[in-house]
């Protein structure tokens, strides 16, 4: 007898879990910098249009595949009668695996900074860059050591993920997100109030609300496209897996709009936190993005902000919740594949895969500061510099695995399974899909073209658009 498949316990649980998978570190430490570079309100407008016309249809597409098949990302294509497209699922699983390897360690760094600001904020303020690299094993004299502190916190972070996943879909993933996502929004609102009430924050607010078209270029559109695309967990095996836990009564179209709206709201609020706060404390030229900005540059902002230590702890707690909700969804998609494909027990599969991903991720953390693992070996005769291991992992997923998986899903639904099949699944809840005609055009032509543009441009320019 076939084992009954897990399902979400409630509509709210699914929405919060799916939104949690979408809301990640990129919403908070990349989006504000991209919005600043792209002309403030102009970037926000472009980003919103991309989410509506590409993000929502792509999310509906993957959720439809998942619910129609009631299977993991590889099994979905088998269940729908198109085994030839199983390669899309394998790429999705591999991409999720590699992302989790390094994402779990970055989550560990965030956890370390929560404790760091609680116990030794003066040390962070005194030498932000030195504090960050000492965590990663770099010594002041230029030598390197095994970064035991960073590895310990990464192990704790991964253990938290494992504990939640072992408890199952409803009792683990759903229950955590019912607490984690409201906590994340509460932290966002507290930080937003603090940011906009700082003396001098008005200039940052005006910048974010104004539309400066002079800063908008084709690269700006690509940046917004990449940010939206990667932010929504598209092409990562997550949405098909989460869709497979949906009941037939759920409205995929409506839920997709809600989830994309929540993800966008988090990114926009983060922009209205970071940009005004940096304007008020460091100056407009100091707005940045990425891990270096979040771990190093913002230390000076918190140092100058009244009550900065408290708000630093809240900020890194915000990052921690964002990292956890995203990492949980990645691990769940891999565990779902292992338990269904190879009939592994959930507990054993979770512990095994989390251990392997943590160990591989150790190379990522070590490669940040330890020169031998960074791949900085230059062949003087041929002028070749080998890429860092950490760069390779991000290159492999962001520029190849994720867009290829998403493109495969679009081609499958647009030209093989057909948009009519996805539309029928979307309407299975009993509500007519009013945008069916627009959806057909978007999934068959517009979305594949946009994904191919991301893929080609990121490879051609050597920059990651996510």
Least confident of 196-205, 329-338, 360-369: 360-369
Average pLDDT over residues 421-430: 96
Largest CA distance in the chain: 68
CA-wise closest residue to 261 among 225, 290, 228, 223: 228
User: What is the crossing angle of helices 346-369 and 308-341, to 10°?
Assistant: 130
CB 97, CB 397: distance < 8 Å:
no
Residue 17 structure tokens: 């879990």
Average pLDDT over residues 301-310: 92
Band of residue 230 on the pLDDT scale cut at 50, 70, 90: confident
Average pLDDT over residues 360-370: 81
CB 20, CB 177: distance < 8 Å:
yes
pLDDT, position 457: 82
Kindly report, residue by residue over 399-415, the tens digit of the pLDDT. Answer: 788 899 999 999 999 99
| Spatial CB neighbours of 277, under 8 Å, sequence gap ≥ 6 | 194, 195, 198, 201, 204, 301, 305
CB 287, CB 63: distance < 8 Å:
no
What are the contacts of 367-370 at 24+ separation with CB within 8 A?
368/133, 368/136, 368/137, 368/147, 369/133, 369/136, 369/137, 369/138, 369/144, 369/147, 370/137, 370/138, 370/144, 370/145, 370/146, 370/147
**What pTM did the predictor assign?**
0.92
Residue 139: how many other CB atoms lie within 10 Å? 12
Kindly report, residue by residue over 264-304, the tens digit of the pLDDT. Answer: 999 999 999 999 999 999 988 888 887 888 898 899 899 99
pLDDT, position 228: 87
CA-wise closest residue to 104 among 405, 400, 330, 337: 330
Least confident of 49-53, 135-139, 168-172, 195-199: 135-139
pLDDT, position 148: 92
What's CA 383's distance to the chain center, in Å? 35
Given a cut of 80, whether residue 198 has pLDDT beyond it is yes
Residue 172 structure tokens: 């683990």
């Amino acid at each position: 007898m076939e084992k009954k498949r897990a399902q979400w316990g409630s509509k709210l649980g699914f929405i919060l879990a799916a939104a949690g998978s979408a809301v990640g570190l990129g919403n908070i430490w990349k989006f504000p910098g991209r919005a600043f570079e792209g002309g403030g309100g102009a970037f926000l407008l472009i980003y919103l249009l991309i989410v509506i016309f590409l993000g929502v249809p792509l999310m509906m597409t993957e959720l439809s595949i998942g619910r129609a098949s009631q299977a993991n990302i590889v099994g979905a294509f088998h269940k729908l009668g198109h085994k030839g497209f199983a390669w899309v699922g394998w790429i999705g699983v591999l991409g999720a695996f590699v992302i989790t390897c390094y994402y779990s360690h970055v989550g560990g760094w965030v956890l370390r900074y929560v404790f760091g600001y609680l116990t030794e904020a003066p040390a962070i303020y005194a030498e932000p860059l030195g504090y960050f690299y000492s965590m990663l094993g770099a010594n002041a004299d230029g030598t390197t050591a095994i970064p035991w502190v960073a590895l310990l916190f990464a192990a704790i972070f991964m253990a938290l993920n494992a504990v939640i996943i072992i408890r199952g879909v409803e009792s683990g993933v759903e229950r955590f997100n019912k607490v984690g996502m409201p906590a994340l929004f509460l932290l966002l609102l507290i930080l937003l109030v603090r940011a906009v009430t700082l003396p001098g924050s008005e200039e940052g607010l005006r910048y974010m609300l104004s539309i400066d078209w002079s800063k908008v270029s084709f690269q700006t559109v690509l940046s917004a496209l990449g940010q939206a695309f990667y932010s929504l967990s598209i092409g990562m095996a997550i949405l098909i897996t989460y869709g497979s836990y949906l009941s037939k009564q759920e409205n995929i179209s409506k839920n997709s709009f809600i989830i994309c709206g929540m993800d966008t709201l988090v990114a926009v609020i983060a922009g209205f936190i970071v940009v005004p706060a940096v304007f008020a404390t460091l100056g407009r030229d100091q707005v940045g993005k990425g891990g270096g900005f979040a771990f190093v540059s913002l230390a000076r902002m918190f140092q100058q902000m009244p009550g900065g230590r408290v708000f630093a702890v809240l900020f890194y707690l915000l990052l921690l919740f964002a990292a956890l909700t995203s990492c949980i969804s990645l691990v769940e998609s891999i565990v779902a594949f292992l338990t269904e494909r190879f009939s592994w027990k959930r507990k054993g599969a979770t512990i095994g895969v989390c251990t392997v991903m943590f160990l591989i991720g150790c190379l990522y953390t070590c490669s940040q500061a330890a020169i031998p693992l960074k791949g900085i070996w230059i062949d003087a005769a041929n002028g070749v510099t080998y890429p860092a291991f950490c760069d390779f992992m991000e290159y492999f997923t962001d520029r190849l695995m994720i867009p290829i998986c998403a493109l495969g899903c679009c081609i499958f639904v647009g030209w093989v399974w057909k948009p009519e099949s996805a539309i029928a699944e979307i309407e299975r809840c009993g509500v007519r899909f009013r945008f069916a005609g627009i959806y057909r055009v978007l999934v068959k032509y517009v979305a594949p073209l946009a994904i191919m543009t991301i893929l080609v441009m990121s490879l051609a320019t050597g920059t990651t658009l996510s």
